[in-house]
Amino acid sequence: MLLDLRIKNFVIIDSLTVSFTRGLNILSGETGAGKSILIDAISGVLGEKLSTDMIRTGFDKASLEAGFDVSGLKELAKILDEAGIDTDDDQLVIRREIFANGKGRCFANSMQIPVAKLKEISENLIDIHGQNEHQTIVNISKHRELLDSFGGLSGDVAKVREVHEKLYSIRNRISSFEIDEREKARRIEFNTFSIKEIESAGLKPGEEEELRNESNLLANAEKIFKEVNESAELITGETGVIRNLKKAESNLSKISDIDPDIASMLDKIREALYSLEDSSSELRDYRNSIDFSPDRINQVEERLNTIQGLKKKYGDSIHEILQYAEKAKTELDAINSSDEEMEQLRADEKKTVKDAKELALALSEKRKTAALKLEQLVIKELKDLGMAGTVFKISIKREISPDGDIESDNNKYILYPHGIDRIEFLLSANEGEDLRQLRKVASGGEMSRIMLALKNVIQSADIVETLIFDEVDAGISGKTAEIVGRKLRNLSKDRQVLLITHLPQIAAMSDTHFLVQKGKSDGRVTTLVKNLSDKEKVREVARMLAGEEITDLSIKHAEEMIERALAN
């Protein structure tokens, strides 16, 4: 639900913070005090269009911020998680900024996001009904969800979705096999050639690197031999290190028993001598292994050219070339066994279509039953709300297509993940008028009452937790106003409802009452919002009853009205 709203330098508002509660939140005040600005601010937070003329005169930036409790909103949690937005404490803070240069920014828990993502998030937070149309209920795609929720059909829809996914999985598999004979022959020939060419090469992982190292050694064999041979001569030659070390070892051994220090040095010389003799042997072996063969050079280069040629065709490395061969074998096996598998897939497709037909038609019949019940309940609600004569109808149609999967009544219908039905709520606001789409049929006040009727009937639907009604009381009074108030109060038992009203009968129903009025800040007019105490609420309801001159009689009347409202 909406926890608080913070507004800065927006239209005539200087700086304002309002904290809301669960239940029925009423906003009242004189015309022009700024009630609609609050709704505009909330709409802006939710991603509706903002213009630079909404920035308070004399400032370069306006900011709107709202805090939400999003615990229990599973669909929203999924959206936020996919966007990488952290909500570990079940709190979501949305901030919107607009600048005088026309630029703007959006943030969700301090993470900057595009407006499109903000709108996706906000669909799960608040419905605003009235002049500012942030309304999921007029979104046709939501009508099916609402009807299915009302009829308790989510399990049936899940079964249809499952069989729909299975059907299209089978068909994707079939498509992978459906190649003509010429293409099949071409693929067999190409894959067979590729496999033979790669296998005949006898490639080994790491071979290319070994060959390049050998090629480098062969190309420099003469230089390597010269340097190694010269180094060996310096160690083992007539004047080499070993011969001189042996002389030193012989000389010192003659006197090592005279002085213990000499014996210690002699040991080190002997150790060095042994090490040099080992190195000399290794150098000699290495020198003898050096290959000056031009034939070997040619063999290595030819092998590298073979590998390079295969890399141009099949991959950037020996590993990728070998992988290509494995894939070619797999495809070849699939082509060779496709006839048998295709026969099985066709049988699976036929059975799945049969299952889909049974489930989709059964779901469609349940929707028709639920739709009739929902129509009757909504029309009854609208009558209570002062809209007698209004007709509410749920259109359930199927899309006919020669390629449709579901055959019924001599027609073929397209199967969607949610079934075969296209559902839309239609309305005729006045007797004798044609049924039309919701967004095209009513004024702001009528639309709010239509939404109120729907919300009251479909309270169990898993939709947003916060509802805002603007102008719900337009054109009503007396008993109808009291009925509207009671329905709003009933709706707010399970949700948060925010309502702008001019009617005392509705204001008396509030759980929390805010007075919106004009004030002064730095010598300029600004909008102020006050959370009224019980006593202050009585005076405000009295003002709404009697006007600016509040009398003892109007106070008493207000007290009785509030007491009666809260008693029921």
CB 38, CB 44: distance < 8 Å: no
Give the residues across from 10 on adjacent strands: 13, 55
Q: What is the CA radius of gyration of the chain?
A: 42
Q: What is the pLDDT of residue 338?
A: 67
pLDDT in tens, the chain (568 residues): 899 999 999 999 999 999 999 999 999 988 888 888 898 899 999 988 899 999 999 899 999 999 999 888 888 888 888 888 887 778 899 999 999 998 999 999 989 999 999 988 988 888 887 644 445 667 788 889 889 988 989 899 999 999 999 999 998 888 776 666 677 788 889 999 999 999 998 988 888 888 888 777 777 777 777 787 778 778 877 777 888 888 888 888 888 888 878 888 888 888 888 888 888 888 877 777 777 677 777 887 888 888 888 889 998 888 899 999 999 898 888 777 767 777 888 899 999 999 999 999 999 999 999 999 999 999 988 888 878 888 899 999 999 999 899 999 899 999 999 999 999 999 887 777 888 887 776 665 666 677 778 877 876 555 578 888 876 777 777 777 888 888 888 888 888 999 998 899 999 999 999 999 988 878 888 899 999 999 999 999 999 988 878 888 999 999 999 998 877 6
For the stretch 54-66, what's the b/e string if a residue is b when 16 or more beta carbons lie within 10 angstroms of its beta carbon?
A: bbbeeeebbbbbb
Q: What is the pLDDT of residue 179?
A: 65
Q: H-type helices in 101-153, by residue range?
A: 115-122, 140-151
Bridging pattern class, strands 23-28 and 512-521: parallel
Closest CA to 280 of 238, 247, 232, 241: 232
- Report how far Cα 371 is from the mean position of its chain's Cα atoms: 32
Q: What is the pTM of this model?
A: 0.59
Long-range CB pairs of 527-536 (<8 Å, 24+ gap) are 527/12, 527/13, 527/16, 527/33, 527/34, 527/37, 527/38, 528/16, 529/16, 529/18, 529/27, 529/38, 531/18, 531/19
**What is the Cβ-side half-sphere exposure of residue 457, based on CA atoms within 13 angstroms?**
25
Residue 211 and residue 208: Cα distance in Å, rounded? 5
Q: What is the pLDDT of residue 68?
A: 93
In 276-405, at which residue ranges do the beta strands (DSSP E only) sit?
391-398
Closest CA to 421 of 403, 392, 399, 394: 399
Bridging pattern class, strands 512-521 and 126-129: unpaired
Residue 565 and residue 504: Cα distance in Å, rounded? 11
Closest CA to 424 of 139, 181, 180, 232: 139
Q: Around Cβ 232, how many Cβ atoms within 10 Å?
A: 19
CA distances (Å), origin 475, targets 25, 387, 442, 446, 503:
21, 10, 13, 9, 11
Q: Domain boundaries in the chain?
A: 137-178+344-444, 186-336
CB 506, CB 498: distance < 8 Å: no
Tokens of 9: 């330098």
Give the residues across from 95 on adjacent strands: 65, 107
- Contacts with 147 (C-beta within 8 Å, 6 or more apart), sequence order: 153, 367, 370, 371, 374, 394, 423
- Contacts with 453 (C-beta within 8 Å, 6 or more apart), sequence order: 378, 381, 382, 385, 387, 392, 487
Q: Which amino acid is at 60?
A: D
pLDDT digits (tens, 9 = 90+) for 437-484: 877 766 656 666 777 788 778 765 555 788 888 767 777 777 778 888
pLDDT digits (tens, 9 = 90+) for 94-125: 999 999 998 999 999 989 999 999 988 988 88
